[in-house]
Amino acid sequence: DQQVKQNSPSLSVQEGRISILNCDYTNSMFDYFLWYKKYPAEGPTFLISISSIKDKNEDGRFTVFLNKSAKHLSLHIVPSQPGDSAVYFCAARVSSGSARQLTFGSGTQLTVLP
């Protein structure tokens, strides 16, 4: 039962254009969402996050949008750079209680073409 889904395993974008990575979730209890980036042979590194009380969070070239009614979030990277080529994981968690566990999607391989 995949509570966090990234339906696109891969995405190719030309350098300088916008990259849009999508993520859907099914658990309405999730109230905090994160994006991680992963290079080969390295651990995931935090990129950007958003609380369910917001619908947008921006950090430089990266913007995350949250549509709670659709249970959908997206990561926009603009302009895309070759160094952005990596696997991007969407993750979600429930903040209440003692659990701090993240539920991850399966990742989307982004390739930015020079």
Partner 1 sequence: DTAVSQTPKYLVTQMGNDKSIKCEQNLGHDTMYWYKQDSKKFLKIMFSYNNKELIINETVPNRFSPKSPDKAHLNLHINSLELGDSAVYFCASSHTGHGATKRQYFGPGTRLTVT
**Under the rule (CB under 8 A), what is the footprint of partner 1?**
2, 32, 34, 36, 41-46, 49, 87, 89, 91, 93, 95, 98-107
Residue closer to partner 1 (CB basis): 67 or 95: 95
Distances (CA, A) of 82 to 1, 21, 26, 74, 108: 34, 16, 32, 20, 15
Q: How far apart are CA 92 and CA 33, in angstroms?
A: 4
The distance of closest approach from Cβ of residue 44 to partner 1 in the complex, given in angstroms and rounded to an integer, is: 5
The distance of closest approach from Cβ of residue 16 to partner 1 in the complex, given in angstroms and rounded to an integer, is: 28
